[in-house]
């Protein structure tokens, strides 16, 4: 569910007409709904209601906008971060360090020091060399780092290959078969407090079976580790729950169904559970608003050329991802069309042969379910400025990231002295 609805024939977000935002800010622009964010947090939390004190750490990589993070902080969420930059963003937005988990395969010594300085809740380690480095860094600061090993359970998540993270050939975690050996070595590192186990097998999962298979392996590992004398107190079950993009496809499992499965599988685990939802919190809470530049007739279907491009919303080009494309003021006719952007790449294509509202030059369209992995993956290809972002709350709205002028992009470069003449 989201709060993008049609009122008197025109789309609005909560109580704000989308056309009013486009007229004031220009297009393309990302638009986020506070009511949808709030609802999704409540639904996810309710799904885990029978668990004792779970840590729900929002995956900052999904949407790191400061206003979005501040909204989630006020709702009591923690943060899952994968860089020093995301850590600082989360803290600046009001998320307490003791609710922050640091994941990722490439943590540097500088990032480790930063996280230790702030006193984060847990590092999710991805390799034995990382464990050795973190121990050395922690000792140099007179600290012990709270850690879990991320386990690679060799489970196929059944998602797109580029967002699958739990198979043996993926770069993430340590092999399940090597876990006991790795934990034994980590226990001997004086700068580490080995407190947990972590797993995350992929993103946009539409089936609970792979998750249950991975969690079952984690449960067996926790029992084996505790039998071996390890004081395992946390289990981070990651994120990955999918959201509906294509209304023609079956909906992914609900948070309630996910919660039921988690409670059943983990009912005897003597640990605090942790979760890293991202897309399921922010995906449907955002839309990319764009204006049609022109429509040109193709060999078969017309090309609807919009002012948004692959640099604004990369997912269709990178993952062949599907986004529902809706006219902000539909005229009542539908036809097949190709929706493309202005960037000089054939890959700058949002949809081919899509059955959609008939639109004309100047009309507004909305790319739905764009709140996750949208603005955060945007770039400046073709010297296009970064996309602005707007947050709506009821009848109020604000620009929460402005569109930088192209002069700022040019000013970021410098010409060396030998070219100045």
Question: Which CATH number covers residue 378?
Answer: 2.40.37.10
In this prediction, residue 201 carries a pLDDT of: 78
pLDDT bracket for residue 167 (50, 70, 90): very low
Do 138 and 275 sit in the same domain of this protein? yes
Do 178 and 246 sit in the same domain of this protein? yes
Mean local confidence (pLDDT), 344-361: 96
pLDDT in tens, 177-219: 889 999 999 999 999 999 999 998 776 778 888 888 889 999 9
pLDDT bracket for residue 164 (50, 70, 90): very low
Phi, psi for residue 95 in degrees, rounded to 5? -85, 120
Domain boundary among 232, 264, 282: 282
Q: Is residue 376 over pLDDT 90?
A: yes
CA–centroid distance for 199 within its chain: 16
Mean local confidence (pLDDT), 299-313: 96
Do 335 and 229 sit in the same domain of this protein? no
In this prediction, residue 202 carries a pLDDT of: 73
Q: Is residue 417 part of a domain?
A: no
**Residue 114: closest CA among 149, 85, 153:** 85
Q: Is residue 379 over pLDDT 70?
A: yes
Do 69 and 162 sit in the same domain of this protein? yes
Supply the range of the domain harboring residue 116.
34-282
29-33, 46-50, 237-241, 266-270: least confident range: 237-241
Q: Is residue 333 over pLDDT 90?
A: yes
Question: Between helices 66-74 and 84-92, what is the axis angle to 10°?
Answer: 60
Do 260 and 352 sit in the same domain of this protein? no
pLDDT in tens, 68-116: 999 999 999 999 999 999 999 999 999 999 999 999 989 999 999 999 9
Do 114 and 139 sit in the same domain of this protein? yes
Q: Is residue 194 part of a domain?
A: yes
Q: Is residue 421 part of a domain?
A: no
Q: Is residue 39 part of a domain?
A: yes
pLDDT in tens, 247-305: 887 888 999 999 999 999 999 999 999 999 999 999 999 999 999 999 999 998 999 99
**Mean confidence (pLDDT) of the chain:** 93
Domain boundary among 282, 298, 324: 282
110-124, 151-165, 393-407: least confident range: 151-165
In this prediction, residue 162 carries a pLDDT of: 47
Q: Is residue 412 over pLDDT 90?
A: yes
Do 234 and 87 sit in the same domain of this protein? yes
Do 99 and 243 sit in the same domain of this protein? yes
Q: Is residue 239 over pLDDT 50?
A: yes
pLDDT bracket for residue 171 (50, 70, 90): low
Q: What angle do CA 31, 308, 23 make, to 5 degrees?
A: 55
In this prediction, residue 129 carries a pLDDT of: 93
Do 302 and 352 sit in the same domain of this protein? yes
pLDDT bracket for residue 163 (50, 70, 90): very low
Q: Is residue 418 part of a domain?
A: no
In this prediction, residue 166 carries a pLDDT of: 44
In this prediction, residue 384 carries a pLDDT of: 97
Quote the number of domains for the chain: 2
Sign of CA dihedral 142, 146, 152, 153: positive
Share of the chain above pLDDT 70, in %: 95
Do 98 and 187 sit in the same domain of this protein? yes
pLDDT bracket for residue 242 (50, 70, 90): confident
* Cα 66 to Cα 85: distance, rounded to the nearest angstrom: 12
pLDDT bracket for residue 170 (50, 70, 90): low
* Cα 235 to Cα 223: distance, rounded to the nearest angstrom: 12
The catalytic residue positions are 344
Question: Which CATH number covers residue 259?
Answer: 3.20.20.10
For 84, 86, 165, 174, 176, the CA distances from 220, given in Å and listed in that order, are: 33, 32, 20, 16, 11
Do 257 and 217 sit in the same domain of this protein? yes
Q: Is residue 149 part of a domain?
A: yes
Domain boundary among 218, 247, 282: 282
Do 105 and 233 sit in the same domain of this protein? yes
By three-state DSSP, how is residue 28 classified? coil
Q: Is residue 275 part of a domain?
A: yes
pLDDT bracket for residue 169 (50, 70, 90): low
């Amino acid at each position: 569910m989201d709060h993008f609805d049609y009122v008197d024939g025109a789309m609005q977000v909560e109580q704000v007409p989308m056309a009013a935002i486009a007229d004031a800010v220009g297009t393309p622009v990302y638009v986020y709904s506070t009511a949808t964010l709030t609802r999704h947090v409540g639904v996810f939390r309710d799904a885990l209601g029978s668990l004792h004190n779970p840590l729900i750490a929002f995956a900052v990589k999904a949407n790191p906008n400061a206003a979005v993070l501040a909204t989630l902080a006020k709702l009591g969420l923690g943060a899952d971060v994968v860089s020093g930059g995301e850590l600082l963003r989360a803290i600046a937005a009001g998320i307490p360090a003791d609710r922050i988990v640091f994941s990722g395969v490439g943590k540097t010594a500088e990032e480790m020091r930063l996280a230790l300085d702030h006193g984060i809740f847990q590092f999710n380690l991805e390799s034995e060399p990382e464990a050795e480095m973190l121990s050395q860094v922690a000792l140099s600061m007179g600290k012990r780092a709270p850690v879990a090993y991320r386990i690679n359970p060799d489970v196929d998540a059944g998602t797109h290959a580029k967002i699958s993270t739990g198979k043996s050939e993926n770069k993430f975690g340590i092999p399940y078969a090597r876990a006991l050996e790795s934990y034994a070595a980590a226990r001997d590192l004086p700068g580490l407090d080995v407190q947990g186990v972590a797993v995350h097998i992929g993103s946009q999962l539409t089936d609970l079976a792979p998750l249950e298979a991975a969690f079952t392996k984690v449960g067996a590992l926790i029992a084996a580790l505790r039998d071996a004398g390890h004081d395992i107190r946390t289990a981070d079950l990651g994120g990955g729950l999918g959201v509906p993009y294509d209304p023609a496809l079956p909906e992914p499992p609900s948070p309630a169904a996910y919660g039921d499965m988690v409670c059943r599988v983990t009912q005897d685990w003597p640990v605090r559970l942790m979760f890293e939802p991202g897309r399921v919190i922010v995906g449907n809470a955002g839309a990319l608003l764009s204006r049609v530049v022109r429509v040109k007739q193709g060999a078969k279907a017309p090309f609807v050329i919009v002012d948004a491009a692959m640099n604004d919303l990369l997912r269709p080009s990178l993952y062949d991802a599907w986004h529902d494309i809706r006219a902000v003021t539909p005229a009542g006719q539908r036809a097949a069309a190709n929706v493309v952007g202005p960037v000089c790449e054939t890959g700058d294509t949002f949809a081919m042969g899509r059955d959609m509202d008939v639109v004309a030059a100047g009309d507004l369209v909305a790319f739905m379910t764009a709140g996750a992995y949208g603005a955060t993956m945007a770039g400046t290809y073709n010297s296009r400025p970064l996309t602005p972002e707007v947050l709506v709350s009821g009848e109020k709205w604000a620009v929460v990231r402005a569109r930088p002028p192209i002069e700022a992009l040019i000013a970021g470069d410098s010409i060396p002295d030998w070219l100045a003449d």
